[in-house]
């Protein structure tokens, strides 16, 4: 852990060396998700409600998914760039070092330009939390935290799956985008609006709805059972197969040579 913190400050310092480029990229990141926010605003101001959710309630989804995703991306960027690590032999060096592979991949890259998005999510929370019509009790505040943190962990799990796939193929990883980028972009609305089939898929296979739609129902008192409060924790089960898949990949790994 201490080692990780060391890498953390190292990456932070090195990225701060190119301040202009850093801030420009950060503004770019901010703007990309702002365009999505703006289109959401246009849609909601035209239709007022979707499936009974108001604008501010939809914003809770948008902000929690965006924040969870950006946290995962900021810290887990190493897994995103993992195919490159395999290609240039950097991974071979990681294997012979006396630390766990996952820690090393994590420490290999962090991308603080994602703070642009995290900031935006924070602003949206500041706006939407008081206006969403939720009666904020201690339980509900805890639920919101669980949504963000578990969301971030599940997206992180998806990055691990993405990296694990690259042990077997370099081509055609694009289909993972629908789960990662798609999960983020379509997570701006409660996942239930995409219909029964999609919701089931996002509940039982890739549990994105477990940290977004179900706890939202608890926040809005549509479902009063405490079970809905803890569904985000349930989504963490996804990390087990993701981790196992990655380990399987490591075992099957054959170096590409020098």
Partner 1 sequence: MKKYLAVFRIRFINALQYRAAAAAGVATQFAWGFLEIFAFSAFYRANPNAFPMEFSHTVSYIWLQQAFLALFMMWFWESDVTEAIEGGAIAYELIRPMDLYKRWFAQSCANRSARALLRCAPILLIAFIVPKPYRMGLPPSLPQFTMFVISSALSLGVVVATSMLAYVSIFYTLSSTGIRSVFTTIVGFLAGEYIPIPFFPPSIRAIAELLPFAAMQNMPLRIYSGNIAGRDALWGLAFQVFWLSLLIVLGRLAMNRALKRVVVQGG
Q: Which stretch binds partner 1 (CB under 8 A): 33-41, 85-93, 98-106, 157-165?
A: 33-41
Q: Which is nearer to partner 1, 51 or 96 (CB)?
A: 51
**Is 49 near partner 1 (CB under 8 A)?**
yes
Q: Which is nearer to partner 1, 142 or 222 (CB)?
A: 222
Minimum distance from residue 53 beta carbon to partner 1 (Å): 9
Among residues 1, 138, 174, 225, the one that binds partner 1 under rule CB under 8 A: 174
Among residues 6, 12, 21, 93, the one that binds partner 1 under rule CB under 8 A: 21
Q: Which is nearer to partner 1, 104 or 113 (CB)?
A: 113
Contacts (Cβ under 8 Å, ≥6 apart) of 19? none
Among residues 1, 175, 257, 258, the one that binds partner 1 under rule CB under 8 A: 175
**Is 28 near partner 1 (CB under 8 A)?**
yes
Minimum distance from residue 207 beta carbon to partner 1 (Å): 17
Give 53's strand partners: 50
Number of shown-chain residues binding partner 1 (CB under 8 A)? 36
Query: Which string of x and - marks every residue 186-205 that binds partner 1 (by CB under 8 A)?
Result: x--x---xxx--x-------
Residues that bind partner 1 (CB under 8 A): 21, 24-25, 27-29, 31-32, 34-36, 38-39, 42-43, 45-51, 171-175, 177-178, 182, 186, 189, 193-195, 198
């Amino acid at each position: 852990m201490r080692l990780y913190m060391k890498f953390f400050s190292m990456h932070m310092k090195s990225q701060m060396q190119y301040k202009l480029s850093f801030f420009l990229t950060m503004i770019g990141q901010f703007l990309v998700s702002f365009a999505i926010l703006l289109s959401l605003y246009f849609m909601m101001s035209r239709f007022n409600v979707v499936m009974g959710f108001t604008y501010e309630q939809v914003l809770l989804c948008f902000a929690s998914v965006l924040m969870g995703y950006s946290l995962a991306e900021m810290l887990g960027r190493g897994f995103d760039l993992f195919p490159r690590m395999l290609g240039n032999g950097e991974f071979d060096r990681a294997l012979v070092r006396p630390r766990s592979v996952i820690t090393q991949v994590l420490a290999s890259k962090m991308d603080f330009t994602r703070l642009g998005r995290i900031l935006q999510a924070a602003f949206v929370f500041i706006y939407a939390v008081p206006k969403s019509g939720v009666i904020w009790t201690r339980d509900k505040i805890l639920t919101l935290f669980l949504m963000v943190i578990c969301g971030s962990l599940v997206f992180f799990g998806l990055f691990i799956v993405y990296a694990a796939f690259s042990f077997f193929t370099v081509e055609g990883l694009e289909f993972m985008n629908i789960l990662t980028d798609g999960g983020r972009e379509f997570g701006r609305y409660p996942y239930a609006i995409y219909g029964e089939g999609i919701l089931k898929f996002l509940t039982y296979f890739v549990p994105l709805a477990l940290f977004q739609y179900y706890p939202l129902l608890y926040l809005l008192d549509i479902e009063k059972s405490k079970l809905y409060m803890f569904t985000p924790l349930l989504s963490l089960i996804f990390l087990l197969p993701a981790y196992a898949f990655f380990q399987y990949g490591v075992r099957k790994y054959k170096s590409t040579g020098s």
